[in-house]
Amino acid sequence: MEPITDTTNISLSIAVASTLSGALTIAVWRAANFIRDLRDEIKTLSATVRAAWPRQEQERWARELERRNPALDVPPVPEKDHEG
């Protein structure tokens, strides 16, 4: 068995550093894609709910919420074309 030389130590250090940086890059890339997909899914769901829930029903619900919780500051129902 050969002894570990300085060259071997450097080569191993470079290999480990390269592997770790590659793994970290892939992990961050996957996390970013997951977050982007989740954000897109939430936007789609929000638009679907907004389209399916009539403004009159939203206003009725907001008035009921305000009536049951007088201390709560209930914002007005957004306009139909408003994208929050």
Q: What percent of the chain has pLDDT over 90?
A: 46
Helices (H), the chain: 6-52, 55-68
pTM, to two decimals: 0.53
Asked whether 61 and 67 are in contact (CB, 8 A), the reply is no
Computed over its alpha carbons, how large is the radius of gyration of the chain?
27
- Residue 66: partners with Cβ closer than 8 Å, 6 or more residues away: 72, 74
pLDDT in tens, 2-43: 788 888 889 999 999 999 999 999 999 999 999 999 999 999
